[in-house]
Amino acid sequence: MTPNEIRSKYLQFYKDRGHVVVQSSSLVPQNDPTTLFTGSGMQPMVPYLLGATHPKGTRITDSQKAFRTDDIEEVGDNRHTTLFEMLGNWSLGDYFKEEQLPWVFEFLTTEIGLDPKRLYVTVFLGDEKNNLPRDTESVAIWQCLFKEKGIDADAAIIGSEADGYARGIKEGERIFYYEAKKNWWSRAGTPDKMPAGEPGGPDSEIFYEFTDVQHDTRFGEHCHPNCDCGRFLEIGNSVFMQYLKNEDGTFSLLPKQNVDFGGGLERITMAATNSSDIIAVCHRPILDQLEKLSGKTYGSSLDEIRAFRIVADHSKAAIFLIADGVRPSNSDQGYFVRRLIRRAVRYADKLGIHQSGLETVVSIVADAYGDAYPEIATQAADIQKVISDEENRFRNTLARGMKEFERFMEPGALSAHDAFQLVTTYGFPLELIIEEAGAKGIKQIDIVGFTELLKEHQALSRAGSEQKFKGGLADTSEKTTRLHTAHHLLLRALQTVLGPHVHQRGSNITEERLRIDFQHDGKMTDEQKREVERIVNEKIQEDLPVVRREMPKEEAEQLGAEHEFGAKYPDRVTVYSVGSEDAPFSIEFCGGPHVTHTGELGGTFKILKEEAVSAGIRRIKATLE
Q: What contacts 24+ positions apart, CB below 8 Å, involve 366-370?
A: 367/285, 368/4, 368/285, 368/286, 369/4
Q: Which CATH architecture has domain 3-279?
A: 2-Layer Sandwich (3.30)
Residue 70's identity, in one-letter code, is D
Mean pLDDT per block of 10 residues along the chain (625 residues) reads 95 97 89 76 84 90 93 87 96 96 98 97 96 97 98 97 96 97 91 91 97 91 94 96 94 93 96 94 95 93 93 97 89 87 92 90 94 93 94 84 75 80 76 79 81 74 45 72 94 93 85 89 92 95 89 82 68 86 88 87 92 82 93
pLDDT of residue 472: 60
DSSP readout, 344-372? HHHHHHHTT--TTTGGGHHHHHHHHHTTT
The CATH class for the domain spanning 472-624 reads alpha beta
Element (H, E) at 400: helix 380-409
CB 516, CB 620: distance < 8 Å: yes
The predicted pLDDT at position 5 comes to 96
Domain ranges of the chain: 3-279, 287-467, 472-624
| pTM for the full predicted model | 0.72
> CA dist 279 to 161, 288, 311, Å?
27, 12, 10
Instruction: State which H helix or E strand residue 155 sits in.
Output: strand 154-159
pLDDT reported for residue 32: 62
Quickly list DSSP for 405-466.
Answer: HHHHHTTSSB-HHHHHHHHHTT---HHHHHHHHHHTT---B-HHHHHHHHHHHHHHHHHHHH
Q: Name which of 614, 622, 612, 591 is nearest 470 in CA terms.
A: 591
Please state, in angstroms and rounded to a whole number, the distance separating the CA atoms of residues 434 and 348: 18
Q: How far is the C-alpha of 320 from the C-alpha of 386, rounded, in Å?
A: 12
Parallel/antiparallel/unpaired status of strands 232-245 and 251-264: antiparallel
CB 393 within 8 A of CB 401: no
Helical (H) or strand (E) element with 250 = none
pLDDT value for 167: 95
Q: Residue 429: its pLDDT value, please? A: 75
330-361: b or e for each residue (b if 16 or more CB lie within 10 Å)? bbbbbbbbbbbbbbbbbbbeebebeeebbbbb
SS3 content of the chain, % helix, strand, coil (to 5): 45, 25, 35
Residue 582 DSSP SS3 = coil
Residues 511 and 474: their CA atoms lie apart, in Å, by 8
